[in-house]
Amino acid sequence: MSGGLIYEYSQEVSNFGLVVLNDNDTCSIRVDYDNLQKQFAKLDIAALESTNATATSLTPPRCVASLITDSSFPTTFAIPEIPEGGQDLINNGIDKPNNGKLVDIKSDKVTSIVYNSDGQELKNLAIKELPEDQSNVPGENTSGETASASGTGSAPKATESKKGGAGSERGVKGWVWGVVAVVGAVCLL
């Protein structure tokens, strides 16, 4: 699954984030966000939408080494041992997990300053509500524009907070901002 999952929205100590939430309450998009956007653009949406979502029985392809064409991936299918504590997580889940919730959006305008991966400020970011039968599709429902080259936007040095984590004010604020930014970022695709 190397590279097969995006598990971190904001840049944390593991360095897998798509954006940096700066100490001055701005957001800087990382090049990994751009890379993800390029991969999303390659999706065959028509093929995905044509799959049978009501199927109750599907036959997955047999896992054989010949399916792996990239030399950077191993061709063995040996499953590693479950790490210490892993079985307990499988059996019992996470004790007192932080659960998100749906919230009413009071404004569709993104008021925080957001910089693209080149350091230019993005302007006019907004959340676009879609009809219930639609979803965001890469390259459609875009929002925002890059500030002019006149220097109106220059990203601050990435000074992500060393504070944070579950339960801290910065962590909660970052999470809330992240939820809003995710919705806005998806609209950017």
pLDDT tens sequence across 41-60: 888 888 877 877 777 787 87
The whole-angstrom separation of Cα 83 and Cα 101 is: 31
Tally of domains in the chain? 1
CA distance 46 to 87: 39
Kindly state whether residue 84 falls inside one of the protein's structural domains. no
Structure token pair of residue 115 = 């910089």
What would the DSSP string read from start to end of 69-114?
A: --TTS----PPPPPPTTHHHHHHH--SS---------S-SB--S-E
**Mean pLDDT throughout 139-145?**
64
Q: Which domain holds residue 113?
A: 1-42+105-189
Residue 17 lies in a domain: yes
**In this structure, are residues 149 and 123 in contact, taking their beta carbons and an 8 Å threshold?**
no
Q: Does a structural domain hold residue 51?
A: no
Q: Please tell me which residue, 141 or 23, carries the higher pLDDT value.
A: 23
CA atoms within 13 A on the CB side of 55: 8
Average the pLDDT over 77-89 and give the result. 87
**pLDDT class for 185, splitting at 50, 70, 90?**
very low
Higher pLDDT, 189 or 147: 147
Residue 151 has pLDDT above 60, yes or no: no
* Global pTM exceeds 0.85: no
Which amino acid makes up residue 61?
P
Task: Tell me whether residue 81 is in a domain.
Answer: no
- Collapsing DSSP to helix, strand or coil, 187 comes out as helix
Q: Is residue 66 part of a domain?
A: no
Q: Is residue 13 part of a domain?
A: yes
Residue 155 lies in a domain: yes
115: enclosing H helix or E strand: strand 114-115
Q: Please indicate, yes or no, if residue 29 is contained in any of the structural domains.
A: yes
Contacts of 103 (CB under 8 A, 6+ apart): 179
C-alpha distances out from residue 130 to 69, 148, 182, Å: 39, 29, 15
> Which two structure tokens, joined as six digits, stand for 147?
């500030």
Going by the DSSP 8-state scheme, the letter that residue 126 receives in this structure is B
pLDDT recorded at residue 20: 95
